[in-house]
Each structure stands twice: as structure tokens, then as C-alpha cells.
Amino acid sequence: MGQEITTSRFTEEDFLRFHHRVVAETALLEQWLQEGLLDGGEPMAGCELEAWLVDEGGMPAAVNQPFLEALNDPMVVPELSTFNVELNTRPHLLGSGLLESLHRDLDALWRRCESHAEALGAHLVMIGILPTVRKSDLTLDNISAMQRYQALNEQVLRMRDGKPLQLDIRAAEHLYTQHHDVMLEAATTSFQIHLKIGAERAGRAYNLSKMVSAPMVALSANSPWLFGHDLWDETRIPLFEQAVAVGASDYSRRVTFGVRYVRESIFEVFAANRDRYPVLLPQLMDEPVERLAHLRLHNGTIWRWNRPLVGFDDQGRPHIRIEHRVVPSGPSPQDVVANAAFYFGLMAELLESEPEPESRLSFAACRDNFYRAACQGLESQVEWFDGRRGSVAELCEQRLLPQARAGLLRVGLGRPEVDHWMEIVQRRVTSRQTGARWQRLWVEAHGRHFPDLVLDYLEHQNSGRPVHRWRV
């Protein structure tokens, strides 16, 4: 979905021809998988960090175009709204020095971005939902000037027969509103973690990514406030699901946790894309079938919380990546790298040490875990392998943190590096102070003065300290 398109106007013939190309490219991907032609080399890791631009008063600043022009860096690109941007990191081998390199790259890029933002009288904030964003900010007046975003809005509304989007979120408080475009999505910013893995293991890795989504979203939660309402710990989850809703069925939702595990191969996900999801952006491209351009664009308009991607290396060889999308942006560079460390360590260990996990945790329980954890955070009660039950915090402390440590050591990270990043997660879980918890504590102490909350948050973020060390 990061690629630009050339028009937002399409004909019925465009939709038909695009679908035919998706069918042909999906068949080719199936052939490659059957013949073992995808890259099965060393696992690689990477990430994308979405961020907000705010003014000196902590309000959204619609300046991403002059910001990006001044920065002039291909690793930083626009997002849906003019007050959001996305920072990308180069891929790293999943091995010694990974986390230090990831943090060094991300922190240096962040500081350079902040310097350019300050020149415009703005600041960069990494936070799941900006507490000061107003419904009036989320209009087409603030949509980024790219054809793909205009087309996304037009096609989502076309698939809804022009009916407004319904936002209905219940928690400590109840938020209900209607919106007439897709700009609600712009209120959600995330930290997307990428893991390149051999195709033969990609199905199991995809399933395990779903299983660990509950602890990942609970310990990283950073989005409790929306339009002045106290909602889920990670309100970004229901907000994004409802912001581009085009169907009531589990099989037609564009933002989804899914309906089952992969049974045999990761190809099942791409077959579902072909068979179950209507084409949203039928941009026809003059690309050989071997580039899978239409399959990849179509896949980019289906926002699974865990999404398999097909990429190509510098030599043109295809590979599979798992994109883990459940984690919000922020609160600090150290926090997001620690979140990635926890995910990479868990995946490395669970792939080796937990036999047949799909038979030990039902998909229904896995899905319930995720939504409960997004709503209630670390105190949510979940089910784990073999019927084990308890809070997410207890599960992390007693089982998952040791496994994540073991997994990072397994893939070759040194013990000091592992200890540093796992201690950040450990302290956050032990103190129960996620970004969501800190924001609520701040409001308890100071009231619902959201501009001041954002400015205090920004000051703590710029200190570089992880969130478990923040004070209100």
C-alpha cells in the first residue's frame, strides 16, 4: 500500500482486468512455493514507525509535505493525513547486534526528523492515538496529496454505497459517532515489525504471530484516549477496524484478525485474498507477472493484524515476510525496539520449542485473547497453551519473558544486549506502566487537559527514557 498509483478513477473493465492479473500472479506464487523457489536464507528483521506532527501547543500540525520536502529522505514517507509520516529502517540479520543496530538507526533518523520538524515550528510524536486529535481534524482537507489515498477514500465509500462509517467503541466510556470519509484511519499510528522467514516455516510463524498478538498488544498499549473519551488500552484496534469497514462478514473485513490459522501453507492467505476480497484499487501496471505487482497491491489493501508479504531482494529473488501490525507507535525509541526484541525472541523460541501450538490453543481463544488484551491491557485474563489461564502480565513474567530471552540468545545475540532490551520489557510489565497507563495516570493527576498531556508526553519522549521510568 506504500506505492503510489496514477489515478483514482477506475472503470468496470479496470476491476475485471486487475482481478485476472491477481489470479495469474497468485497461481505463479503457488507454483514458486510448491517448487521451493522462494528465499529460504537467514531470517531478517526490520520495522516501520508511524508518527504524528504536532505544533507548539500539542495539536496536530498539517505540515508533512514541507517537512518531507525539507528532509528529502526516501526512508521517510507520507501517511494518510498531512499530520502523519512513516519512518522506515533498513533490514538487519536476525543475529548479534540486531537490536543495537535497529535502535541506532531509528534513533538517529528520529533525531534528524525532529530537527527538521522544529524548523517548521513543529515536533514529532510517537503515540498510538494523539489525545488532542479532534474529529474536525480528520477531514479530506487534511488528506495527503497522493492518488492512492484519494482512491482509497473513493473506493471504500463506493463499496459502502455512500453510507457513512460508524464508530462505536465501548469501554469505561462509550463513543459513538459517524464519519463520511476514511480519515478516521489517520488517528491510528503503529509500529510495524517485519520478520523475513523461509517459506516452509512461514505458515507456522504466521500462526504464532497471531498467538503472541495478545501479549504484544497488552504490553505495548499506548492509545487510551480518543475524542476526549477513555476507551480501550489500545483503542487503535477497534478504531482502525471500523475506519475502513466495507462488510459485516468476518470474511470481508479489510482490517481483521482473521477467521482461522493457516493449516498447510502460507499460500492459503493469498488464496483467500484472491477468492474472498473484492479488488479495492485496480491500478493496472506494466509489470511482468513475475513481479507479482497486482497481487502485492491487492494484499496491501487488506490490513490483517498479522499480514504475510511477498518481497524481493536486490537480486530479484522473492521471499516471505510476516508483518506484525498490532503494536502502537511509541512511547520512546527504546520502548519500540524493546517491543521488537520481545517479538523476535518469542518467535525464535516458540518456532523451536513449542510443538503443534495450533492444537494447544484454539483459534477462537487466540482471537478472544487479542481483543481482550487490546481492551484491558496487562490485567486482561487470557488462555494460553494447554488450557493455562491467567493475566497477560503473569503469562509474560512466568513464561514469555524467559522464552523471549532464550530465543534471542538462540539466534546469536549476546547476553548483555539481550539483558538490556528484555529488562525494559520486564520493568514495564512488573510496574504495569505502559504508555496507556501513564496517560491515564497523568489525567488522574492533572485532568483532561490534553494539550498539556501531549507536551508533557513529548518532553518525556525526548528524554530517551523508556516509559516505565516516566513520572506524572
**pLDDT of res. 1:** 39
Residue 101 has pLDDT above 90, yes or no: yes
The three-class DSSP label of residue 66 is: helix
Question: Where would I find the H helices in 56-126?
Answer: 64-71, 98-119
Q: How large is the average pLDDT for residues 248-261?
A: 81
Question: What DSSP character marks residue 143?
Answer: B
In percent, how much of the chain has pLDDT > 70? 97
Q: Is residue 311 part of a domain?
A: yes
At 159, the pLDDT band (50, 70, 90 cuts) reads confident
What's the domain range around 340?
12-466
Q: Which of 1-5, 159-163, 222-226, 394-398 has the lowest mean pLDDT?
A: 1-5
| pLDDT score of 245 | 87
282 occurs within a structural domain: yes
CATH number at 161 reads 3.30.590.20
Question: How many Cα atoms are found within 13 Å in the side-chain-facing hemisphere of 426?
Answer: 14
- Mapping DSSP to helix (H, G, I), strand (E, B) and coil, where does residue 307 land? strand
Answer whether residue 3 is part of any domain: no
Q: pLDDT confidence of 40, banded at 50, 70, 90?
A: confident
Q: What is the mean predicted confidence (pLDDT) over 159-166?
A: 90
pLDDT value of residue 435: 98
User: Counting Cβ atoms within 10 Å, is residue 133 exposed (0-12), middle (13-18) or buried (19+)?
Assistant: buried
Q: Tell me 190's DSSP state.
A: B
Which residue type occupies 418?
V
* Number of domains comprising the chain: 1
Cβ atoms of 117 and 123 closer than 8 Å = yes
pLDDT band at 326 (very low <50, low <70, confident <90, very high): very high
**Residue 54 pairs with which residues in a beta bridge?**
60, 123
Element (H, E) at 217: helix 213-220
Q: Is 254 within a domain?
A: yes
Residue 400, domain member (yes or no): yes
Quickly state the pLDDT bin for 5 (edges 50, 70, 90): low
User: What average pLDDT score do residues 141-161 get?
Assistant: 90
Mean pLDDT of 75-91: 96
Residue 471 lies in a domain: no
pLDDT band for position 23 (cuts 50, 70, 90): very high
Q: Are 279 and 22 in contact (CB under 8 A)?
A: yes
Tell me the pLDDT of the chain averaged across its residues. 95
Residue 58 has which C-alpha cell?
A: 500539542
Question: Residue 379: CA atoms inside 13 Å, Cβ hemisphere, count?
Answer: 9
Within-domain flag for 2: no
- State the Cα–Cα distance between residues 43 and 33, nearest whole angstrom: 17
